Amino acid sequence: ERTRIGIVGGGPAGLMLSHLLAQQGIDHIVVEARTRHEIENTHRAGILEQGSADLLLDGVSDRILTDGDRHDGIDIRIEGERHPIDFQELVGASTYLYPQTDVFIDLADRREADGGDIRYGVGPAQVSDVESRPLITYSDPDSGGTVEIECDLLVGADGSRSVCRGAIPEQHRTAHFREYPFAWFGVLVETPPSHEELIYSRSEAGFALVSQRTETLQRLYFQCDPRERAEDWSDEQIWETFRSRLNFNGFEINEGPVTEKVVLPFRSFVSEPMRWGKLFLAGDAAHTVPPTGAKGLNLALQDVRILGDVLGRWAETGDDAMLDEYSGRCLDRVWKAQHFSYWMTSMLHTTADDSGFDRKRSLGELRMLLESDHGRAWLADAYTGWAGKALA
């Protein structure tokens, strides 16, 4: 088989790129190792920047306007002391609470309705010849035979354990890493949201985040040791932990049946460059952020927005020089989001190993920020994704 653009990975990044290429009439194929059902049942983050919502609203689905929830701010708490951050007042922007699974469902439905060639449950795919004539190879799950797809260009949107990234010779890529001495314990809880806005709570007992999914489902996280195993925790232990980090000054978290528990590792990672030869990396294949601030999905969508633009102009002109822009344009935003995610994380989490100096310094930083109009505006600007600022 032959196609112009071969896309490995059918998560939100791969499918959004497929949509953007289809809008421009560019022939492509998407291969994805997981089934559609498996992807739909993987719970990830839930906050979209306006720029990400705009991508969905441009021909994918309007469902975010009805089923999503516009959030005009967040609430930061220090031992229960409330510091609302009003995004609209500060920077005239908002975010949307719209779970990643819904983003995926909208994209998968749109590609199906538009007749896209999206092959779920095939693979794992192998890739080769990424400098000359990229080839995707996988074994067909029905016949067992080998399928080969020759492409002009190859896109690796295949997640943090990317096979495509491994096709770039080691001497031509640099991996930047940072590890953190904690993780998040995430739960889904069958009760209505406890508060209208998201609560990011710093406390002596550790960090906790109060988010939501629907009118009857909450999404909550607490900071934990990365070696914790979710199955070792009883509901009662989970609720004791949340109470100790959230129930101050009359606030009480809504408790209910825990329907899912998961430990999320924290890592900062960037692999540079994001393009090598005829291979382009997008989303988690190229970078990971710690979850604080929910930038991961937004970065992935902005990568493919840029890639859709670059590939559209390349297809129109046949000029390979277009392709040189991709990595630099993405990395500019990626490093800003890396800083933001690292900074939100470091200001809101403490560990037993922190010195008294470390604790008090980061608390000083947080208070200085929250007490300044400029500080809060800076936070609002970054959190909402620099909406209204010139996009790379």
**Stretch of 75-83, 288-296, 326-334, 357-365 lying at the interface with ligand DHB (CB under 6 A):** 288-296
For ligand DHB, the binding residue among 47, 118, 127, 210 (CB under 6 A) is: 47
Q: By CB under 6 A, what part of segment 343-382 binds ligand DHB? A: none
Catalytic residue among 19, 138, 291, 326: 291
For ligand DHB, the binding residue among 268, 292, 327, 350 (CB under 6 A) is: 292
CB of 236 to ligand DHB, least distance (A): 23
**Stretch of 21-29, 42-50, 165-173, 225-233 lying at the interface with ligand DHB (CB under 6 A):** 42-50
Three-class SS string for the chain?
A: CEEEEEEECCCHHHHHHHHHHHHCCCCEEEECCCCHHHHHCCCCCCEEEHHHHHHHHCCCCCHHHHHCEEECEEEEEECCEEEEEEHHHHHCCCEEECCHHHHHHHHHHHHHHCCCCEECCCCCCEEECCCCCCEEEEECCCCCCEEEEEEEEEEECCCCCCCCHHHCCHHHCEEEEEECCCEEEEEEECCCCCCCCEEEEECCCCCEEEEEEECCEEEEEEEECCCCCHHHCCHHHHHHHHHHHHCCCCCCCCCCCEEEEEEECCEEEEEECCEECCEEECHHHCEECCCCCCCHHHHHHHHHHHHHHHHHHHHHHCCHHHHHHHHHHHHHHHHHHHHHHHHHHHHHCCCCCCCHHHHHHHHHHHHHHHCCHHHHHHHHHHHCCCCCCCCC
| Total of chain residues touching ligand DHB, rule CB under 6 A | 11
CB of 165 to ligand DHB, least distance (A): 23
Examine the residue annotation and report whether 43 is marked as an active-site residue of this protein. Answer: no
Q: Are 220 and 210 in contact (CB under 8 A)?
A: yes
Give me the amino acid identity at 62: D
29 counts as binding ligand DHB under rule CB under 6 A: no
For ligand DHB, the binding residue among 19, 34, 77, 219 (CB under 6 A) is: 219
218 counts as binding ligand DHB under rule CB under 6 A: no
Examine the residue annotation and report whether 71 is marked as an active-site residue of this protein. Answer: yes
Examine the residue annotation and report whether 336 is marked as an active-site residue of this protein. Answer: no
Examine the residue annotation and report whether 200 is marked as an active-site residue of this protein. Answer: yes
For ligand DHB, the binding residue among 8, 60, 198, 286 (CB under 6 A) is: 198
Q: By CB under 6 A, what part of segment 241-270 binds ligand DHB? A: none
Pairing outcome for strands 2-8 and 126-128: unpaired
46 counts as binding ligand DHB under rule CB under 6 A: yes
For ligand DHB, the binding residue among 9, 156, 293, 385 (CB under 6 A) is: 293
Examine the residue annotation and report whether 342 is marked as an active-site residue of this protein. Answer: no
For ligand DHB, the binding residue among 15, 183, 274, 294 (CB under 6 A) is: 294
385 counts as binding ligand DHB under rule CB under 6 A: no
Q: By CB under 6 A, what part of segment 300-319 binds ligand DHB? A: none
CB of 224 to ligand DHB, least distance (A): 14
CB of 167 to ligand DHB, least distance (A): 30
Catalytic residue numbers read 71, 200, 291, 295, 383
Q: Which residues of this chain interact with ligand DHB, rule CB under 6 A?
A: 45-47, 198, 209, 211, 219, 291-294
